[in-house]
Structure 1
């Protein structure tokens, strides 16, 4: 997608990892659908769940942590409680200290994303809060959800 083109929903097949999420009553806003800020929470949950499950992030003790410095989301279809969704996760780019994750929100059983976006983590020392090189084990985990 170029900066001048209209975003289009991507297919489920474009993602390497999926994390299921059950919508909650409180996710709906006064307009009867999941509020936009909730999608960002789902993005963060899916990525960090992948890292924790992969053994490369200990939320309380890891010496290297990821801080979100950029995020974006495009919305294509409404989602509302009590729908179940899956968050597709893939890694688009890994730099020395940063990672661009791309995410798609899929309604249960649907092939086209209801929303999709990205966020960028910069990995920093927990204490220093200064950028550090992404550890080798984390790079290996990221490679598993990167395009071939």
Structure 2
């Protein structure tokens, strides 16, 4: 399996600025690999909250992460500011594959990139449910080439 080529900023319709924290660094002097997943979670949930389709307290439908992956190309170090790019690669019947890239502030090439898949489920039963219409509509601008 070959390593992917770093993504370009222009490939991501939504970008969120994130400030790294002292605690993000590890003993090797760069942001620890697991912290990138928190950046992924942050950009996705910020977008869902901002577009009004995530009600984490009382919504009938919730997204559960069932798959995640990340490739690293260049280190990020506190106190560097970063930008997380977000796009949707696939809109399924009950799931969404989000793709995220982490860029150093102003960089055009990703320092890291990956994906995670949300399966949308009923809050109570935890059984998969079709994507709500409002969610699919909110994700459409991030998924110009995605299909179910």
Tell me the TM-score range normalised by the shorter chain.
over 0.9
- Structure 1 unaligned segments of length 5 or more: list them: none
The runs of 4+ residues in structure 1 deviating greater than 6 Å are: none
2:2 and 2:34 mapped to 1: Cα distance? 24
**1:12-65 C-alpha deviation (Å, 9 max, x unpaired):** 000010111100000000000000000001001100110011000111111100
Match of residue 120, structure 1, among 101, 105, 117: 117
How do residues 31-46 of structure 1 correspond to structure 2 at under 5 angstroms?
31-46=28-43
2:23 aligns with 26
What is the TM-score normalised by the length of structure 1?
Answer: 0.96
Match of residue 134, structure 2, among 132, 137, 141: 137
1:19 and 1:134 mapped to 2: Cα distance? 24
2:88 and 2:7 mapped to 1: Cα distance? 15
Give SS of 2:55's match.
coil
Shift of 1:147: 2.4
Q: How many residues align?
A: 145
Shift of 1:115: 0.2
2:29 and 2:20 mapped to 1: Cα distance? 13
- Structure 2 unaligned segments of length 5 or more: list them: none
2:49 aligns with 52
RMSD, aligned α-carbons: 0.8
